[in-house]
Amino acid sequence: MTTDFLIIGAGVAGLRAAIEAAEAGRVLVLTKDRLTESASEYAQGGVAVALSDDDEVRLHEQDTIQAGDGLCDPQAVRVLVEEGPAVTRQLIEWGTRFDRVAGDGARLAFTREGAHSRSRVLHAHGDSTGHEIARALFQKAQTLPDICFRSYATTIDLLLAEGEVCGASVWNAQERRVETITARAVLLATGGLGAVYSETTNPDVATGDGVAMAYRCGAEISDLEFVQFHPTALHVEGAPRFLLSEALRGEGAYLHNAAGERFMARYSPQGELAARDVVSRAIVAELKRTGAPHVFLDLTHLDASFVRRRFPRIYDTCLRYGVDMTREPVPTHPAAHYAMGGVKTDLYGRTTVEGLYAAGEVAATGVHGANRLASNSLLEGLVFGARVGRQLWERADAPLREPQAATAHPELPPGITNEEIRALAWSHAGIERNGRDLEDCVQRLEGIGLQPGPAPTRAGFELRNRILVVSLIARCALAREESRGGHFRRDYPEKRLEFQKHSCITKSHDVRFA
């Protein structure tokens, strides 16, 4: 099977890129699950953009760089904040229904989230922003005849011809066979890697596939040690770790421990609105101090009708698991949420391997540095998705090459389960790390053997990718002997100037800093 442009993933970045790329050729978008199953679909808080009357692009830029803790790429941040307003207005033109000020349908409603100096976060249907943006983009993409979609198609590996990516091998779950798809260019828009951890707000599809495939084909991976752990996820037995949006605290919710004491003031002068890594570590410290299984997010002092109207999805989900957030505090615990690092790209989505591009959470553009500013992720997917979609035009006349070797049935790891890998990642490479645990993690993962599987399955391919991604996270975290942003080492609790650099790792070179 051939196409001009192969896009792996149908979240905000993949859809936005597909719309642009369709002007220059045929686009095939693959997803390993339902077309609508992506992290974008679950993004609640909103999209941060300097569009309000009292905001400025310069202030958004400053807030982003400050949150990035010394590792943001200034050029990438400038691209994000300067191009953000135009792509957001375009979204509105395409039918995205952002919330408006009550009683004034002409004015967009903005809210403030942690570490923002202005109220600049747009939301839709209260707390379903990602769902609404993805809906509008998918609707737009469906009007373009040169975009085709295929669901339940798990990409196994990228294919190479003379050092260039020329396509991918894909597991067709319905027909239970491996297919080869050749393309002039391949875009990874596979999303994040949160589901390599046992505690995560991410959907099950977020298994780091894009990072693993890019690494195996020789691409450079950058800053993978920087994983953002969201401080507030629903912590009820039998319930998924459903995200309790930052916007809840932005609207006045506060945290207290099992004794009913508000504790954030002991850890940060910004209290509940401190950066996510600060709040997450504060909760971990509080849980160790008190011995409790979770802390509580309290909205009971807010108007109940406002809470239900502003956060309908969160309210309904909590209620489904026995918690009425307007009447009782919500049990909460940190969970893996977002990867700041990923496949290294330039400002146009080009990776270090010719013919391979990346956009969205899978990409390391340098926008987020060591710690992402709240609600910049949807904006990054939109801005850089559009940029890489246009950049794909440069490959419109590239030849379609036959791969040197197509994957038949790759060897899969025996004797270990996805659940065991996720537990290892959480315990050894989670919110708080140390050299001993990281070394143990790397050694245990390197000791896992590979052998031909009895039958290919999506779970088997995901296990293979999880093992590699957790190993890469641990190796990068072990090499970074400091604490910065989302990366915290108990044995190196301070920032160190010599590590104010990006980590880089490839299949042929171990971790280095540049």
Confidence band (pLDDT; 50, 70, 90) for 407? low
Whole-number pLDDT of residue 188: 98
pLDDT in tens, 24-53: 999 999 999 888 766 566 556 689 999 999
Element (H, E) at 138: helix 129-142
Longest dimension (CA), the chain: 66
What's the rounded Cα separation, in Å, for the pair 80 and 365? 10
- The three-state DSSP-derived secondary structure of 46-72 is CEECCCCCCCCHHHHHHHHHHHCCCCC
Domain ranges of the chain: 2-224+340-395, 232-335, 410-503
Q: Which two tokens stand for residue 370?
A: 């060591």
User: What per-residue confidence (pLDDT) applies to 40?
Assistant: 61
- Beta sheet of 512-513, edge-to-edge order: 363-364, 342-344, 221-222, 503-505, 512-513
Please state the CATH superfamily assignment of the domain spanning residues 2-224+340-395 in this structure: FAD/NAD(P)-binding domain (3.50.50.60)
Query: Which CATH architecture fits 232-335?
Result: Alpha-Beta Complex (3.90)
Which whole-number Å values give the CA distances from 436 to 39, 245, 430, 490, in the listed order?
A: 32, 33, 13, 11
Contact 117, 58 (CB under 8 A): no
Q: Average per-residue pLDDT in the chain?
A: 93
Joined tokens for residue 193: 């890697």
Angle at alpha carbon of residue 70, lines to 64 and 73, rounded to 5°: 65
Residue from 78, 120, 276, 401 carrying the catalytic annotation: 276
Question: Structure tokens of 477?
Answer: 């975290």
Tokens read off for 466: 């999880």
The string of DSSP letters for 70-83 reads: T---HHHHHHHHHH
Q: Coil, strand or helix: which one is 153? A: strand
32-35 long-range contacts, Cβ below 8 Å, gap at least 24? 32/152, 32/153, 32/154, 32/155, 32/205, 32/209, 32/458, 33/151, 33/152, 33/204, 33/205, 34/151, 34/152, 35/10, 35/138, 35/149, 35/151
Q: What number is the average pLDDT over the span 328-352?
A: 97
CATH architecture of 410-503: Up-down Bundle (1.20)
CA distances to 175, 181, 243, 407 from 171, rounded to whole Å, are 9, 11, 31, 10
Q: How confident is the model over 79-109, as pLDDT tens digits?
A: 999 999 999 999 999 999 999 998 877 899 9
| pLDDT for 404 | 85
pLDDT at 222 over 80: yes
Angle at 456 between CA 452 and CA 460, to 5 degrees: 85
Cβ 18 vs Cβ 389: under 8 Å: yes
Q: Which has the minimum average pLDDT: 97-111, 157-171, 301-315, 488-502?
A: 97-111
111-149 per-position pLDDT tens digit: 887 778 999 999 998 778 889 999 999 999 999 999 999
Question: Looking up tokens 């710690």, which residue turns up?
Answer: 371
Please say if 276 is a catalytic residue.
yes
Of 201, 337, 332, 200, nearest to 263 by C-alpha is 332
Strand order across the 121-122 sheet:
47-48, 121-122, 110-111
**Residues whose CB falls within 8 Å of the CB of residue 457, separated by 6 or more in sequence, listed in order:** none
- Which long-range contacts (C-beta less than 8 Å, at least 24 apart) are formed by 308-311? 309/126, 310/126, 310/127, 310/247, 310/251, 311/126, 311/127, 311/245, 311/247, 311/248
Instruction: Dig out the tokens for 414 from the structure.
Output: 């025996």
Q: Given pLDDT bands bounded at 50, 70 and 90, which one contains residue 350? A: very high
pLDDT for the residue 45: 64
Give the pLDDT confidence of 430-446 residue by residue, as tens digits. Answer: 999 999 999 999 999 99
Q: What is the pLDDT of residue 42?
A: 59
What percentage of the chain's residues is helix, strand, coil (to nearest 5)?
35, 20, 45
